């Protein structure tokens, strides 16, 4: 077996196809990530983690146009790549998260109340989700197979209905590159009019904006890593 996780896992290999310097033992520098971000035409720029504190938190920094990013962090590297791949989704997610934070802030003390279920759902979506996108007529059998909670019927549905899989959760990619033990990955089914990344990005952003994740919706999970799930991955 090749010792490199970049060769063992298709989810990582498709990223290395787009950004060859990724396939290295260490994360790319923040300057390199910033160049990739600029080359994508992104609305954001990178900043050090302290900027999140200066702008009243991470969500506020993102909505204002910066992504607080640590140097030498695989977690933050994959987060930046997610902003490049799914810009509408990431903007909608963090803007909605900020709105929810404002809604639970005490107007007198300024303190935040307990995080709500929608915020939990958005955090799981952002960190640990795989999006299975399919044409509208395929969503019902795909979702039915997902709810069964076993991998074989879901794999059959993905292949039978031409679903396309995208890793949105950047913590899942960090998990692979660091060779951590098996965990569960959440799966979100999404109806799209066209099986393209831009269509997925737009449809998911609109679902977030409409309050389409009122509570966590990623259970049951699928095994991660898994050769079966890895084979679904889309460039």
**How many other CB atoms sit within 10 Å of the CB of residue 29?**
13
- Residue 142 class from Cβ within 10 Å (0-12 exposed, 13-18 middle, 19+ buried)? buried
Which pLDDT band, with edges at 50, 70 and 90, does 1 fall under? very low
User: Quick check: 150 pLDDT over 50?
Assistant: yes
pLDDT value of residue 108: 72
- pTM of the model as a whole: 0.92
- Mean pLDDT over 131-135 rounds to 97
Burial class for 6, CB neighbours closer than 10 Å (0-12, 13-18, 19+): middle
pLDDT attached to residue 56: 73
pLDDT of 17 reads 95
The percent of residues in the chain predicted with pLDDT above 90, rounded, is: 85
Output the average pLDDT for the chain: 92
pLDDT greater than 90 at residue 116: no
pLDDT over 50 (residue 11): yes
Residues 179-204 have pLDDT tens digits of: 999 999 999 999 999 999 999 999 99
pLDDT at 39 over 70: yes
Q: What are the angstrom distances between the C-alpha of 109 and each of 104, 105, 112, 170, 179?
A: 12, 8, 9, 34, 44
Identify the pLDDT of residue 63.
Answer: 93
CA distances from 115 to 57, 61, 119, 132, 217 (A): 15, 19, 6, 27, 16
What does the pLDDT look like over 73-102, one tens digit per residue?
999 999 999 999 999 999 999 999 999 987
pLDDT of 15 over the 70 cut = yes
In the sheet where 164-167 sits, what is the strand order?
164-167, 129-134, 183-191, 222-224
Domain ranges of the chain: 5-230
Q: Report, as an integer, the average pLDDT of 159-167.
A: 96
182-211 as b/e: b if 16+ CB within 10 A: eeebbbbbbbbeeeebeebbbbbbebbeee
Q: Quick one: pLDDT band at residue 2, thresholds 50, 70, 90?
A: low
Exposed e or buried b per residue across 104-137, where buried means at least 16 C-beta atoms within 10 angstroms of its C-beta: eeeeeeeeeeeeeebbebbebbbbbbbbbbbeee
Cβ atoms of 130 and 187 closer than 8 Å: yes
pLDDT classification of 109: cutoffs 50, 70, 90: low
Pair 214, 101: CB distance under 8 Å: no
Q: How confident is the model at residue 31 (pLDDT cuts 50, 70, 90)?
A: very high
Please give the Cα distance from 9 to 225 (Å, whole number).
Answer: 8
């Amino acid at each position: 077996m090749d010792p490199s996780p970049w060769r063992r896992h298709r989810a990582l290999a498709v990223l290395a196809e787009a950004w060859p310097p990724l396939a290295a033992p260490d994360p790319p520098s923040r300057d390199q990530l910033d160049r990739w971000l600029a080359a994508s035409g992104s609305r954001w720029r990178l900043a050090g983690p302290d900027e999140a504190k200066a702008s009243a938190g991470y969500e506020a920094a993102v909505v204002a146009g910066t992504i607080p990013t640590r140097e030498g962090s695989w977690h933050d590297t994959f987060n930046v790549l997610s902003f490049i791949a799914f810009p509408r989704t990431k903007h909608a997610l963090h803007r909605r998260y900020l709105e929810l934070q404002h809604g639970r802030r005490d107007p007198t003390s300024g303190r935040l109340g307990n995080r709500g279920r929608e915020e939990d759902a958005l955090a799981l979506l952002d960190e640990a989700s795989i999006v299975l996108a399919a044409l509208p007529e395929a969503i019902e059998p795909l979702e039915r197979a997902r709810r069964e909670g076993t991998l074989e019927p879901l794999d059959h549905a993905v292949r039978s209905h031409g679903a396309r899989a995208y890793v949105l959760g950047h913590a899942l990619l960090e998990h692979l590159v660091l060779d951590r033990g098996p965990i569960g990955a959440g799966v979100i089914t999404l109806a799209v009019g066209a099986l393209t990344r831009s269509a997925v990005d737009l449809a998911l952003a609109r679902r977030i904006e409409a309050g389409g994740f009122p509570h966590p919706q990623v259970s049951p999970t699928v095994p991660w890593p898994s050769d079966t799930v890895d084979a679904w991955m889309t460039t």
